[in-house]
Amino acid sequence: MPIDRRHAMLGSAAAAVALATGLPAQAERGPLPPQMGPNPPRFLRMKLGDFEVTTLLDGAMQGTNAGIQNFFPDSTPEEIAPLRARAFAIEAGLHQPVGAYLVHTGRNLVMIDCGGHASFIPTTGNTLAALRAAGYTPEQVDTVLLTHIHPEHALGLSYDGTTRNFPNAEVVVTDIDHRFWTDPAMESRVPQGQRFIEAARRAIRPYNGRIRTVEMRRDLEVVPGIFLDPAPGHTPGHVSYRLTSQNQSMLIWGDIAHQVVIQLARPRWRVGVDVDPAMGVESRVRTLDMLAATGMLMGGVHVPWPGFGRVIRDGEGYLYVPRPQQFF
């Protein structure tokens, strides 16, 4: 039988089956309901030993195509094009999710970074709502650990510069980063300038007397079960935090990578917004190397939702592998 005739017979057989099921015609089903539009998630919890770690979605930042060369000064358009394709970032500039993490250790309720605010980036500032959706109140948080004092990591501390969003919390930041953002002598060293300095100071101002500055020392235990992992370069006092419970560990980074797909493939590309780009490269490579070597779970403020995964080696670079979501 010719192949087109066979297809025609199959087609008419399918039509006969449809008729036999008695499915109502479109007109009888009524008009289609409207599409529902975006449905941003708010939180996702996972267990790490005795800890519960909750990822909270704060929002996102949308870059422009023009901004890409400034962000990755070592890139060429030819080299970055396939990486942008891999990251689904072809038509528009680079999309950067913003998140925060809540850790319930059994002894402490800890935020790691706390999102931004619409006054700085219009599409950020949902961390408090996400925290409430996750079943907690800001009053219950006893510690906020900052990776560094950049706006989309720290403005969640205070939305108006006077009110503490976490009224009962102590804020922990490295002495180096605190000095960097508050010492008038440092002002000329901030690449993004006055706007970032003003935002940093506005974020921490209401916590005067409640800020615990800590030495940037590897494995310093800042809260029981939570340890510092120095990652200077992006800012001078930029750190990651390692959570450890029952022999399980997870590293949560701030800005080791803003674009996980691109930067893990090209970890040695300098980042234009880093205070010390060369040092930023060293911290990124060291962190990725450690994660790939140990298979440790990781998360990061700009890691795509829900921000739980692992880093594996991939040729000259690395690859981010999201953790399969486990709901039950």
Name the amino acid, one letter, at 193: G
Least separation in angstroms between residue 153's CB and Zn ion is 6
Task: State the binding string over 16-55 for Zn ion (x if CB under 5 A, else -).
Answer: ----------------------------------------
Rule CB under 5 A: is residue 255 a binding residue for Zn ion? Answer: yes
Peptide bond into 306 cis (omega under 30): yes
Q: Taking the CB of residue 272, how many other CB atoms lie within 10 A of it?
A: 15
> Please, which residue, 150 or 202, has the CB nearer to Zn ion?
150
d(CA 122, CA 119): 6
Look up residue 196 and give its two tokens.
């970032």
- Binding-site residue total for Zn ion (CB under 5 A)? 2
> Please, which residue, 84 or 258, has the CB nearer to Zn ion?
258
Q: Which stretch binds Zn ion (CB under 5 A): 121-129, 201-209, 255-263, 311-319?
A: 255-263
Least separation in angstroms between residue 149's CB and Zn ion is 9
Q: Which stretch binds Zn ion (CB under 5 A): 145-153, 173-181, 189-197, 289-297?
A: 145-153
CA angle 181, 160, 58 (to 5 degrees): 80
- Whether residue 212 contacts residue 229, with contact meaning beta carbons closer than 8 Å, is answered with no
d(CA 253, CA 211): 20
At residue 240, what are phi and psi to the nearest 5 degrees? Answer: -105, 165
- Tokens 């358009």 correspond to 77
> Please, which residue, 225 or 232, has the CB nearer to Zn ion?
232
Q: Which stretch binds Zn ion (CB under 5 A): 66-74, 147-155, 194-202, 222-230?
A: 147-155
Beta bridge partners of 318: 313
> Please, which residue, 48 or 145, has the CB nearer to Zn ion?
145
At residue 141, what are phi and psi to the nearest 5 degrees? Answer: -75, 125
Least separation in angstroms between residue 33's CB and Zn ion is 42
Q: Which of 84, 117, 150, 202 binds Zn ion (CB under 5 A)?
A: 150
The site for Zn ion (CB under 5 A) is made up of 150, 255
